[in-house]
Amino acid sequence: MAYFDAASAAPLHPVARQALQASLDEGWADPARLYREGRRARMLLDAAREAAAEATGCRPDELVFTSSGTRAVHSGVAGALGGRWRVGRHLIVSAVEHSSVLHAAEVHEADGGTVSQVAVGREGAVTAEGYAAALRPDTALACLQSANHEVGTVQPVAEVAEVCRAAGVPLLVDAAQSLGWGPVDGDWSLLAASAHKWGGPSGVGLLVVRKGVRFAAQGPVDERESGRAAGFENIPAIVAAAASLRAVRAEADAEAVRLRELTERIRARVAGVVPDVEVVGDPERRLPGIVTFSCLYVDGEALLHELDRAGFSVSSGSSCTSSTLTPSHVLRAMGVLSEGNVRVSLPPGTAAEDVERFLEVLPGAVAGVREKLGAPAAAPVAAVGGDALVVDSLGKRCPIPVIELAKVIGEVPVGGTVRVLSDDEAARLDIPAWCEMRGQEYVGEEPADRGVAYVVRRLS
């Protein structure tokens, strides 16, 4: 089985396994106690903090360990907002942040705060100008991921941090995807990350709060981790997390070159071996191991099952894999196709032979899913005048509405229109994306008795 989902969780690094096993015998005691066992545990915890701080580019007393990366994000957002409540209650996030950031923003908004989302382009990146335009006198905090978890696009953190610093606004960086590859550039104020993203054990996150940043921990606190992460520290897991971070950093430069070559091979060849594919994300400013593409006329969940049966573990941002009938917020913000979306994220050590085998298997898997989805009878089509058609796709999940649009677009003359009736939220993204890929004009939405009518004009 080839595991190609390292962006969700990287396999446990051998160094992490060794450190975890070794520290189980020495790190079980309370590090706050002064007896021998407590002192041993404290030494392990302090050494792990120093190693993690060195890798992150901060002081050891600025870094605390949390129970997860999500907890680090939630504590960081709440604490920074709490520390600057006198300034205001305005929060800035990008439209493609990880759900942990967006959930924290939702809680803030429900509590009476305000939130602004900075838009991204089709390659998934924000601009410093976008953050500058969102800043207000009452802005308490801005958040930006260092690299996107779904498409791999690297964000301009240093430029955004400079804009925020000039306005006196702290910037919290979610570095979960990138920290294993190197420290985050720029004059950021807070940083959160998660050990299982770089090959450490799950259940360990880290939160960095720079000296001078106003921070007021929210909720119950205790004396541990500078009052920013309550509860008994999981020292064996923390030691393993720090050890694996140091280990992957030592290997990062060489492994980045190798994984970039493999992902470039996928990016370059996937469009040649599979028709009607859109490779998404920035082609240059991207993480080494992530490549994401979307296939027209393919159900994402069905494709993932086919690839799983062929021996490949991949993930998807497609609407069909979330059980919600809504496309990924990242793909939606980028305005790209969500149909048949596949994210390949290669862990360190991935063999070139596995990538070659994936490229051999992929065309057949896509063709098989398309054959199954192409079997339904064409949607009921009613002519409305001589130059318009109505496609009734109500009650059908994408990609069926797009498939039925493709079947009938040739039945109207150039300049004529097709109205696709759909009640699947994903159609709002996939029909315009189909038009862009096929050189047709997306006119817009019209109200309908049920669902929405998506209007497409034939140009060729």
Is the CB of residue 64 less than 8 Å from the CB of residue 268? no
Q: Cα(257)–Cα(252) distance, rounded to whole angstroms?
A: 9
- At residue 208's C-alpha, the angle toward residues 207 and 210, to 5°, is 155
Which listed residue (58, 143, 295, 320) is catalytic? 320
CB atoms inside a 10 Å sphere around CB 211: 9
Q: What phi, psi does 188 have (nearest 5°)? A: -75, 165
**Residue whose token pair is 């069909």:** 320
DSSP assigned state of 456? E
- The SS3 call for residue 140 is strand
The two beta strands, 139-145 and 171-174, are parallel
- Structure tokens, 97: 């942040």
Half-sphere exposure of 413 (CA within 13 A, CB side): 5
DSSP assigned state of 172? E
**Residue whose token pair is 């410093």:** 128
Q: Give catalytic status of residue 435 as yes or no.
A: no
Type of residue found at 234: N
Residue 298's nearest CA partner among 185, 434, 420, 203 is 434
| Catalytically annotated residues | 320
